[in-house]
Structure 1
């Protein structure tokens, strides 16, 4: 079974200066010969990811989106530093090959890493990817296990204990995401006032301060092409920090659309968590707590926080589309998606025992 993830044609407006890439690569990596070919990985609404090939040698280049951006929102060099520090203690991180802070090369900071050749599961299993229910369950547990493994890394030993901002992580997240939503709100999207108020009122104390990924999903996990039940890599460390592990789990579960969810939520599904054998969200929580040793008597706050945070991310992208800053038609329905997530948050709040 192969189904190795492949880059495709470069999207309009997102081409790179191939000559500049070639000069940089040959300075950074001794022994490269010939001219590179450049392709782009599909998906993603944030940083851009390209495959750079020199014959049999293959690399991945990550850069921020084009246009005016806040440097802190797409800090490529920070992401590379985090990956370099994590690699010795969390081997699923790809190896960094080179970093660049010279705007004369591509007009932005960027980095190059090894390409992990493997399978990445996106919205659905690829054609011919035949896992039975038992195999799907094993895969699901293995993916959750890698999040548990990350949360049990000794941040101080990895030299990453200063990655975060110290105590008050939960409060910073609620305030920060609330502020981001208010700045990104458009007139056709609800105000989320009730949701933001509930989250501010129900904030728990910080739990353990651990290394968290902040965007842990199936499409950021690389599977072994020779044994697709085995995780060989974890990608996209842009938002990694030190924080509450249950907040990280809540973020992940916002994307965990299960088979019995209502149609509007099914429309947001971007990973195959609906397949027979996949755990339900509650089963994920129970399994994670059993494996990690982190506990909460009631997970409602973390679930609703994750849904709200996802709504803000969607709304920030929709804001760009609404104001003509991007013409990507994928984003046209993001306002409707944000409105649905507000309703989902409100319903979960009514159901909550908190």
Structure 2
């Protein structure tokens, strides 16, 4: 790939971005269906998550615009341009409006994706600015760097590539900041969910005397909780975008023209990752719709007679007791609350 020309990079970029846009289109249609419709018909206006809807539409529009101008640029370079230098001369005009807008698309899509990741972190930490401050600071820094990249690129008026020395410091810092922002914010979200999950399990699986219910431990060991499902959804779906950004950073640092290919696919990856999180979250919500929103469970914890100086055992299913006099009835209310941000659920036991 040492002699990977810019003209070759642009053709491959257009092809792969077209494939990615096709995937995005399918995800976008499915996302709109989950956000706007229920099995019974169209959702009421008050039931629609307008924040998620707006960002999904914006990322799709940016991605569609990006692939449109990429097609236009290739037509101009390979068909219409007749000047000296051939297609490479047209494609390396760094301050041409198409090249500037391609860079702007990367910045806008990245800021939208990272902004929503920060927003989820802020919501999960109960709108605590202190907890979300590191993510906010990084997002603002990346925004400033992105605007600077667009400005300097539009004023260079030279036939150079994006990995030219004039742009390397800004773009390197921007890509590195985006990666750090994704890693830190995702970690904060998963760590918060894990702590809540650990607390819920501690209160949900232990009775007042500290005796663990064998029935519950067997059941919960066979399935993953809703909070952990949320964490895995964020990590798995977000990996599409994060991995693309890491590859973009590597190709840019080594000054390989493959950066044009990966960065173009990355614009599509932002929308794909965002839509997948919504689709998977709402699908999980739909699967729970047939269950009671608030369910009361009567649970009997059986204490062993050994604790009372006698002989006996605790029944695993609490359906057979050797000494019914030691059966302790408990009433536990398990409630589920929906997070409108992504359709996620959290549990509270009391």
TM-score of the aligned structures, taking structure 1 as reference length: 0.26
The structure having more radius of gyration, on CA atoms, is 2
Q: Which has the higher contact order (CA 8 A, sep 6+)?
A: 2
TM-score of the aligned structures, taking structure 2 as reference length: 0.26
More helix by share: 2
